[in-house]
């Protein structure tokens, strides 16, 4: 088998010394060493590990080698369409991403799942996977965005040399952080055939300024005198809003969450506007609610990519029912303070400005009908079989 015959592969080594540059499209040497490790046969695909040096050498040696999983279908012949996949923030193992990768590989699409800077094997000693991205170190974040983009471009170089890859059909898929960095890579790499950006956004400064995950980073930024506008200026060289064009929307599918407070929904909307008229699907969930409909969501992504790779006219996006789950605490004068889990029965509009939810607490079930306020608070009435009480419901949407 030609994969096993290759074993550990190395391309000719040329002296490579690329200093840091804000130019995301700077020419990169396409000739670099790489290691392809012996594959493991799985159901429907063979899984390999790939390593190559990052085109941007950071101050942390562990971060300077790109590690990837390469899943190659075993069914079918010839060259396979391929996806470069970028993962979520802070993971130690890409469990979610591997689920999507297997869905694609078992349907004839190869997947190159690439480790992002400062994650997993690329984490410097004594640090947690992905922690350095959210410390509020803006020069490091800006450099990491450039490094991730250059790593994607180098992945394209590597894949186009493989006999298993169709060099004209390489797509980009990013999830959460991977979708944010993927938007920058999409704008910088013209070889991207198609793109799927899941739970991502644009306006990096606002994501940092508003995300529920960036509390520690915001505290540091304020101590260092940053304002939102100053932060936007500092991140301008890697900001997707400054790089994306409406033409890219023709080959892009954006999946967002209506009630996202990790990558704020308004920043997903900015990404959509920057892309002009991409294909769009909204989950009626928060950032993590897509996990409740993981399999149909993966199927939707796979069907989109299959249609794009095969040059088919895309039909309407299929419906996907994802429950809106609210987790938090409810207080009413007659029933005191209780932890609560709720699911929506009705909403007045896409943003849930007014909504009715069924609520489950340790003291039993009820209905809450109210108006959405700010900071996760809603005010309204809690309705029980006996009577109704004025109530306040603090929650976040899963």
- Residues 309-332 have pLDDT tens digits of 999 988 887 778 788 999 999 999
- Statement: residue 128 has pLDDT above 60: yes
- Of the chain, the percentage scoring pLDDT greater than 90 comes to 83
Task: Give the mean pLDDT of 199-223.
Answer: 96
C-alpha 314, offset from chain centre: 23
Rounded CA gap, 58 and 199, in Å?
A: 28
Show the CA angle centred on residue 43, arms to residues 40 and 46, nearest 5°.
35
Condensed to tens digits (0 to 9), the pLDDT of residues 96-115 reads 999 999 999 999 999 999 99
Q: Rounded to the nearest 10 degrees, how much is the dihedral formed by the CA atoms of 41, 151, 76, 44?
A: 30
Q: Examine the pLDDT at 237 and tell me if it is beyond 50.
A: yes
Q: Check residue 7 and give left, alpha or beta (phi > 0: left; psi -120 to 50: alpha).
A: left
Q: Are 90 and 119 in contact (CB under 8 A)?
A: yes
Question: Structure tokens of 99?
Answer: 């689920």
Q: For 42-54, how does the pLDDT look when each residue is reduced to its tens digit (9 = 90+)?
A: 999 999 999 999 9
Mean pLDDT of all residues in 117-143? 97
pLDDT band at 342 (very low <50, low <70, confident <90, very high): very high
Q: Which residues contact 68 (CB under 8 A, 6 or more apart)?
A: 49, 50, 51, 112, 113, 114, 115, 155
Confidence of residue 11 (pLDDT cuts 50, 70, 90): very low
pLDDT in tens, 385-397: 888 999 999 988 9
**Residue 15 reports pLDDT greater than 80:** no
Contact, 89 vs 61, CB < 8 A? no
Predicted pLDDT at 365: 92
What pLDDT score does 20 carry?
A: 38
Say which DSSP state 361 is in: E
pLDDT at 22: 62
């Amino acid at each position: 088998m030609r994969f096993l015959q290759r074993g550990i592969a190395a391309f000719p080594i040329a002296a490579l010394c690329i200093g840091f540059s804000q130019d995301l499209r700077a020419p990169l040497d396409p000739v670099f060493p790489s290691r392809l490790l012996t594959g493991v046969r799985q159901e429907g695909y063979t899984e390999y590990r790939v390593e190559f040096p990052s085109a941007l050498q950071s101050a942390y040696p562990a971060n300077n080698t790109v590690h990837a999983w390469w899943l190659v279908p075993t069914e079918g012949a010839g060259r396979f369409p391929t996806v470069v996949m970028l993962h979520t923030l802070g993971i130690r193992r890409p469990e979610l991403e591997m689920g999507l990768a297997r869905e694609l590989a078992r349907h004839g699409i190869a997947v190159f799942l690439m480790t992002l800077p400062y994650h997993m094997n690329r984490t410097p000693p004594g640090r947690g996977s992905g922690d350095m991205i959210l410390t509020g170190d803006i020069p490091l974040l800006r450099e990491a965005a450039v490094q991730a983009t250059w790593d994607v471009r180098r992945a394209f170089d590597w894949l186009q040399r493989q006999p298993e890859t169709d060099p004209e059909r390489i797509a980009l898929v990013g999830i959460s952080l991977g979708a944010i960095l993927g938007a920058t890579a999409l704008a910088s790499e013209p070889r991207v055939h198609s793109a799927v950006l899941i739970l991502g956004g644009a306006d990096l400064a606002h994501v940092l300024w508003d995300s529920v995950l960036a509390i520690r980073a915001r505290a540091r930024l304020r101590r260092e005198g940053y304002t939102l506008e100053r932060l936007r200026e500092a991140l301008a060289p890697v900001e997707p809003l400054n790089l994306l064009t409406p033409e890219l929307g023709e080959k892009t599918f954006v999946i967002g969450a209506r009630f996202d407070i990790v990558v704020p929904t308004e920043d997903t909307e900015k990404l959509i506007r920057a892309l002009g008229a991409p294909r769009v699907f909204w989950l009626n969930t928060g950032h993590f609610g897509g996990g409740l409909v993981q399999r149909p969501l993966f199927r939707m992504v796979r069907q989109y990519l299959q249609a794009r790779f095969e040059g088919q006219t895309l039909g309407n996006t299929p419906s996907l029912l994802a429950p809106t789950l609210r987790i938090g605490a409810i207080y009413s004068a007659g029933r005191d303070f209780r932890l609560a889990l709720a699911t929506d029965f009705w909403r007045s509009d896409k943003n849930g400005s007014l909504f009715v939810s069924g609520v489950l607490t340790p003291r039993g079930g009820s209905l809450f009908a109210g108006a959405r306020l700010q900071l996760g608070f809603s005010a309204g009435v809690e309705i029980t079989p006996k009577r109704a009480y004025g109530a306040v419901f603090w929650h976040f949407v899963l």
